[in-house]
Structure 1
Amino acid sequence: MLKFAWTFILISSFLSVSAQILDDSTKQVYGPSSVYFIYENELLENLNIKNHPDTLIDKFYKTNPNNRLGWLYQDLGNVGTASKPLLFEPLKNIATQNGYDVFSLYAPKTKNIKYYNTRSPFSNLMYIQGFKGYSQLDFTHSQNINERWNITLDVEKYNSSKQIDASTAEDRLVNHWSYDISSNYISKNKKYTFLGAFYHFNHKQTEQGGILAQENLSIEPKELLANYRSNYSSQLTTGVFSSERWNNLHIFQQYKLKNGFQAFHVMDYERKKNFFHDPAFQTNFNSTAYNLSLDSTQIDTLNQNSLFAVFSNQFGLKGRYRGFDYRMYAKQRFFKQTSIYGDQYTSGLKSESFIGGQLAYYFKDSTNRVIAEAEFSTNLGYFLNGEITFKNFKGQFYQSFSPVGLFYSQFYTPLNEWRNILTNPFNTFIKGTFDFNYSGIYIKPGARYTIYSNYIYLDQKQKITQNSSLFNTLSFDLNLGYSAKRFKFSNEFTLTINSAENILRIPRIINNSNVEFLLRYAKVLNIYTGADIFYRSAYFADAYSPVLQHFYLQDNIKVWGTAVVDPYLAFQVNRVRLSFKFEHANQGLGNQGFYVTPYYLAMPRAFSIKVNWPLFD
C-alpha cells in the first residue's frame, strides 16, 4: 500500500503542476506533428511514410507484450517468462539460427527500431506499476544534431516477482533490461541515407519449475487456494536461472543513382549468449520440472552456456518505376557457435549465401497493392511470399523450406547429448480476410491454412523428433464489432481444426472480447472504461524444460479452459495518458486459478497503473 500511495501522490502532483503550466493562452509550438519517425522496411520499400508518436488513448491500458498481442503466446504465467506462439507465424528468415527462442518475444528487433526526426528534443516516459511485483519503465530521448542528423536512445527495464515460494514481495522472477542507440542521417542533396543502431538485450528468468505437488495439498485447478505465495512451494530450489544476452550492431545505407536506381547495403554483427545455472543439481535432478531419466548424479552444480555469433553483409539494387517497386540483393553470412563444453558442442565457422528480390505494384490508391518476394540460400533453404491488398480483401501465400536450428542438430551437456541428421522443415501458409463496414458495424471473416512437413519437436521424453509426413491446421477467424459515440464492442474468435493434435498442441477455441464506454467528467475529461475478456479452450499444452529452455509434449495436464476478465479505466490530461487496470478480476468466481503451462499458474488478481508522459521541447 505504501508503494501505491507514493505512486498516487506522484501522479497527482504531476497533473497539478501540468495544469498550472499549461492554460488556454499557452501556445504549444512543438507537439506530435513536429516529431516523426521511419522504419527501415518503409525506407527499403520506398514508402514515404512519416509516423508520429502515438498519443491515442485507444488500447493504451494494455501492459506487457503478451497482453498487447491478445495472449497469443503460451508462457509461464508471469510477465517476461519463456513463451511460444500458439499459431503459426510466417517468418521471412531462412538463415541458420541457434535454435533458442523462448525469450524472443521480449527481445529488440531491428525492424522495429524507430529512426526519428525532431524539430526540438523529444522525450517519452512510460511507467507501469503492478501490485503483484511487476514494474516497467520505458524511456526514449531523441534529438536532432542538425536538420539532417538525429541520435536516439531507447531504454526498457522491467521486473516481475515470484507468485509462489517467495521470501518477499520483491523476490525477483524475471529481470529484464534492454536499450538501443540509433542514429540516422541524410545528405544535403538527399541522395545518401544512413540508418545505424546498436542494441543490448539482457533477460534473466529465475527457474522455479512450477508448482510443487505435495501430500494433503491438491494442485487441481478446482481445488487451488487463493494466496499462491503463502500456500505453495516451487519444484526447484533457489538460485536456478536461465538468461540470454544479445548484442547487435546494425547498419543500413542507401545511395540514389541515376534514373531512380538506388544501391543499398545492410550489415549486421550479432552475438547471442545463452546461460543456464543450477547450484543444487543433486537436489533438483529428479524433480518433475526436469523430467530426467536419471537414478542418481554426481553433478553438484550444473552450468550450461553457449555463444552464437553472426556476421552478415547484404548488397542490392532497388527502385520504383510507374507504380512498380523492385528490389534484388545478395547476402553473405558467417556464423559460429561455441560453448563451455568445447568441441563436444560447437559449430566451427560456417558460411551461407543468399540471393533474393521483391516485385511490388502499387495502385493509384496506395492502400491497394500486390507484392511478390523470394529468397534462396546455399543451405538449401528458400521462402516465397505473395501478398495482395485490394479494397476490402487481404490475402497472403507463404512457403518456406528453412534450415534446422543448431540446438536440434547438435547438442551436448553432461545430461544430454545428440547429433541428428534432420531435414529442413517445410511450411505452406495461406491466409485471407475480408472487411465489411457499415454504419459503425464491422465484420471481418477470415481463414488460415497451414501445411507442415518435416516438423521438428521434443517428445514426452524431451527427445528431438522429426515427423516427415504432411499434416495441416485450418483456422477460421471471425472478428466483429460495433462503435458508437459513447460505446464500443469488439470480439475476435478463432476456431482451429488440427489434423495432428498428438504432436502439435493448439487450443481449439481462442476468443478475445472487449467492451468499452465513454464517460465525460465535468464536460471536459473523457474517461474510457471497459473490460477485456480472454478465453482459451482447455488443451494439453506443451510442458517447459528449464534445462533445455524449450517446450516439449506432455499428456497429463490440461491448461486454460476458463475466462479471464480485466476491467480498466483510462483517460488523458493534456498529453499525459493514464490507465488503471484490475487484471484477472474474476479470480475466485468458480475457481482460484488455472494453469497456462503444466505446473505454471496464471497470474492471480492484481491492480496496475500505467502512465505515459511525452515531452516535445
Structure 2
Amino acid sequence: MRNIFGWVLLVVVGFFCSISAMAQNIDNFSQNVEREKSNRQSILDDSTKLVYDASTIQYTTLKDVKFDQKRWYSIDTTLQRVRLWGTREANDYLVQNLGNPGTAVRPIYFVMPDQIGKNSGFQNYDLYFNDHNSIKYYDTKSPVTSIDLVLGSQTRSILDVGFTRNVNPRWNVGLKFTHYSIDKILDRAGKNDFNVLNYQLQFFTNYTSQNNKYKALFNFTRFDHKVFEQGGIINEDSLFYLNEQAPVYLTQAQSQDMRFNYHLYHQYELANGFTAYHEADILSQTNTFSDDDWTVDSLFIKYKYPPIFDERMTNELSRFNSVSNEVGLKGNWKNWYVLAYFRRRDTFFETKYISGLQSRGENYLGGYMRLDLDSLSNVELKAEFNQFGDHILYGKYTHKLFDVSYNRTQFAVPYLYEDYLSNHHSWSNNFRANQADQIKGAIKLSLWNNNLRLKPHFTFTNVFDFVYLDENGNPQQSGAPAQMISPGFDLKLRFFKYLNFETSIIYSVVTGGSRDIFRIPDLYTNTRFYFANNIFGGKINFQGGLDLHYTSEYYAYDYDPTTQQFILQNNQLVENFPVLDAYISFTISTLTAYIKATNILQSQGEGYFVTPYYTGPKTGIDIGFRWYFFD
C-alpha cells in the first residue's frame, strides 16, 4: 500500500511539474495582450515585482455557469471552519456515522433528493466522493499549490494536495489528490491498524473562447474508498467499551466503494442572451463486501446475519453504471433567466448472484426560471419529469429579510431494494416510488450594526410510500405518511469587539402512521464561543475558543456492513453526551495552522455512542495546517 501511495504522489508531483513547465513555455499563446498587461499591472508592488496571493485566484462552479449566475468566489483563507475536519463536525453534527471519519454516513434529518431516477442504493459514502457539482473551476494569475494536512489523535490523518494554473487567460487546468488514513478507535492492535483508507484523484479544466461565446468545463474523478468493517462492539453494556481494546464482531471483513466519474458541460452563445448547451455524465460504481473467515468472526453470523449458502466466507459484488446526456436552451432577458432541457439517462445494475443485467432508460423534460428582483431578492421555479412519473416541483422566494420554499418530489426506488441476493440477504420487491413534500422558511434579522444576527427557521416534511430497511436489514415500504416538524433558530452575537457567540438549535417532532421509521432526535444544539482578532500589528490573524455540541438521546439507525446500509433498531439509545472541543488557530501570510483538544469532557467520564454499538472519538489532540503557494 505504501508503494502505491508513493507512486501516486510521484505521478501527481510529476504532472504538476510538467504542467508548470509547459505553461511557462506557452505564455505567448495568449492573444489578449491588453488584458494580460492589465492583470499584471494590478498586482505590481512598489518595486514593480509581481506579487501573487489569495486575491489573485478565484473560482466558479458548474451551477454558477449553467444557471448564468456569473459568480466568482475567493478561496477560503479564514479561520472559521479550518479546524472542522472530522465527518460529523465538518457537517455541523447534522450527520450520523460510525464514529470515525471516512466511515458510512447518513443525514440525521430528511434530505430531499436531487436525483429522482434510479440509483444503486449504495450511497453511504457519497459524502466523501467529490462529484461534478462540488468541483471548483479556477482562474489564476500564477500557479497555485495548496496543501491541507490533518494529524488527528489515534493515528488518523487526512491529506489534500491541490494544484491549478492558467495555461493562458482563458484556459485553466488543475489536479487534486485526497488521502484518508484512519486508524481504528475500537479493537485497535496498534499503529496502522486501519479503519479507513481512501484515495481520490481529480482532474479538472475550464476553457472560454476568445470571443467569450463558447465555454467548457470538464472533470474526471477516481474514488477508491476502503473500510475495514468492525460490526460494532459485542457487549455495549460492558465498561470494556471505554477501552480501545473493546471486542468487536468483525476482524476479517472489509468493504470497498470504487467510482469513476467523467463529466462534461459546454455551451455556445447563439445570439446575445440566448445559449445552447450540452451536459454529459458517465459514472461507474463498484461495491464489495468480504469476510474470508467466518470461523474467526463467528459471533457475527450467529447473532447478526446468518449465511444463506456459504458458512466459510462471504464475497459480495455489485456494479452500477449510468450514462446521462442533457441538451438545453437558456436565455437572459433583463432580469429574467429561463432554461429548458431534455435529458436521456440510462442506468445498469448487476450483482454477483443474480444472472442478467437490470437496466432502465429514463427520458426527462425539465425547466428552470429565475426572476432577479434586486441584488438580494429573487424568485426561482424548477420542474422536472420522466416517463415513469418521477418528478420535482420546486419554488423558492428569497428576500433580504426572509426565505420560503416548497419542494414536491417523487423519486425512484434504488436497485438494491428491489432485487438482491447475497450470502446474508435475499429479496425481490415491486415497490411504488417514494414521495415527499417539504416546506422551509426562515426570517433573517440583523441588529446592533450587524453585531446580532438572528435567523428563526422552520421545516415541515411529509413523506409517504417511503422505502426503508427494517430491523433485519430487509426492505419495506411504509403504508402511511409521516410528518417531520422541525422549528429552530441560528444566533450570532459579537460583543466587546472581539468575542463571538454562535449557536444553532433545532427541536423536532415526528407524527403520522409511519413515524417510527424516521429516527431523529428531539433536540439538536451546536454552539461556538471564540475570540478573534488580528495581533502583532495585524501580521497574525488569531482565533481561539470552544465548540460544544449536544444531541438528545434517540434510537438512531443501526448499520449493516454486509449491504453497507443503515437499518432500524429499537435496542440502544445513542448520543445524550455533550461533546466539547477547545482550539486555537492562526494565519501567518499563506499558512494557517491550528491545534485542537477534542472531547475534553470524556477524559474523566464515560464514553458515548454515535451509532448503536459504535462509540464516538475519545479525548485527543488534533493538529492541522493549510498552506498556499502562489508561484
TM-score (norm 1): 0.91
- Tell me the CA shift for residue 309 of structure 1: 0.9
Partner residue in 1 for 2:258: 245
Match runs of 1:100-115 below 5 Å: 100-115=122-137
Equivalent-residue separation in structure 2 for 1:363 and 1:445 (angstroms):
24
Would the alpha carbon gap of residues 585 and 326 (structure 1) be closer, same or farther in structure 2, given more than 3 Å must change? same
Partner residue in 1 for 2:291: 278
Match runs of 1:540-559 below 5 Å: 540-559=555-574
8 Å contact from structure 1 (residues 224, 592) kept in 2: no
8 Å contact from structure 1 (residues 289, 546) kept in 2: no
Residue 220 of structure 1 aligns with an amino acid whose one-letter code is D
Residue 541 of structure 1 aligns with an amino acid whose one-letter code is A
Question: Is the aligned partner of 1:410 residue 2:419?
Answer: yes
- Tell me the CA shift for residue 283 of structure 1: 4.3
Equivalent-residue separation in structure 2 for 1:91 and 1:418 (angstroms):
25
8 Å contact from structure 1 (residues 273, 305) kept in 2: yes
Partner residue in 2 for 1:381: 390
Partner residue in 1 for 2:18: none
Partner residue in 1 for 2:629: 615
Partner residue in 2 for 1:537: 552
Question: Is the aligned partner of 1:149 residue 2:186?
Answer: no
8 Å contact from structure 2 (residues 233, 241) kept in 1: no
**SS across alignment from 2:485:** strand
**SS across alignment from 1:447:** strand
**SS across alignment from 1:203:** strand
- Tell me the CA shift for residue 288 of structure 1: 7.6
Partner residue in 1 for 2:274: 261
**SS across alignment from 1:304:** strand
Partner residue in 2 for 1:419: 428
| Higher mean C-alpha deviation, range 386-395 or range 530-539 | 386-395
Q: 1:360 aligns with which of 365, 370, 373?
A: 370
8 Å contact from structure 1 (residues 265, 316) kept in 2: yes
Would the alpha carbon gap of residues 165 and 75 (structure 1) be closer, same or farther in structure 2, given more than 3 Å must change? same
**SS across alignment from 1:588:** helix
Equivalent-residue separation in structure 2 for 1:76 and 1:379 (angstroms):
36
8 Å contact from structure 2 (residues 309, 423) kept in 1: no
Residue 310 of structure 1 aligns with an amino acid whose one-letter code is S
Partner residue in 1 for 2:334: 322
- Tell me the CA shift for residue 201 of structure 1: 0.8
- RMSD of aligned Cα (Å): 1.9
Equivalent-residue separation in structure 1 for 2:430 and 2:358 (angstroms):
17
**SS across alignment from 2:74:** coil
Would the alpha carbon gap of residues 77 and 195 (structure 1) be closer, same or farther in structure 2, given more than 3 Å must change? same
- Tell me the CA shift for residue 610 of structure 1: 1.1
Q: 1:202 aligns with which of 224, 230, 240?
A: 224
Partner residue in 2 for 1:5: none
Q: 1:159 aligns with which of 181, 185, 189?
A: 181
Partner residue in 2 for 1:95: 117
Structure 2 unpaired stretches of 5+ = 1-44
Would the alpha carbon gap of residues 248 and 24 (structure 1) be closer, same or farther in structure 2, given more than 3 Å must change? same
**SS across alignment from 1:257:** strand
Would the alpha carbon gap of residues 505 and 48 (structure 1) be closer, same or farther in structure 2, given more than 3 Å must change? same
Partner residue in 1 for 2:379: 370
Offset from partner CA, 1:192-233 (integer Å, 9 cap, x none): 0011110011111111111122xxxxx338x4664x224x11
8 Å contact from structure 2 (residues 249, 299) kept in 1: no
8 Å contact from structure 2 (residues 445, 455) kept in 1: yes
Offset from partner CA, 1:557-578 (integer Å, 9 cap, x none): 1000111001110111112111
Match runs of 1:31-110 below 5 Å: 31-110=53-132
Offset from partner CA, 1:293-339 (integer Å, 9 cap, x none): 56x96431200011111111100000111211100000011111123
Would the alpha carbon gap of residues 517 and 289 (structure 1) be closer, same or farther in structure 2, given more than 3 Å must change? farther
Equivalent-residue separation in structure 1 for 2:188 and 2:87 (angstroms):
24
- Tell me the CA shift for residue 25 of structure 1: 8.3
Structure 1 unpaired stretches of 5+ = 1-22, 214-218
Equivalent-residue separation in structure 2 for 1:114 and 1:487 (angstroms):
33
| Higher mean C-alpha deviation, range 97-106 or range 331-340 | 331-340
- Tell me the CA shift for residue 59 of structure 1: 2.1
Equivalent-residue separation in structure 2 for 1:279 and 1:67 (angstroms):
34
Offset from partner CA, 1:232-287 (integer Å, 9 cap, x none): 111113x3101100101100000001141100000011100001001112443542
Equivalent-residue separation in structure 2 for 1:225 and 1:352 (angstroms):
49
- Tell me the CA shift for residue 348 of structure 1: 3.5
Residue 286 of structure 2 aligns with an amino acid whose one-letter code is K
Equivalent-residue separation in structure 2 for 1:488 and 1:342 (angstroms):
58
Equivalent-residue separation in structure 2 for 1:458 and 1:400 (angstroms):
21
- Tell me the CA shift for residue 131 of structure 1: 2.2
Identical-residue share of aligned pairs (%): 27
Equivalent-residue separation in structure 2 for 1:81 and 1:349 (angstroms):
29
| Higher mean C-alpha deviation, range 319-328 or range 495-504 | 495-504
**SS across alignment from 1:482:** strand
Partner residue in 2 for 1:229: 244
Question: Is the aligned partner of 1:311 residue 2:323?
Answer: yes
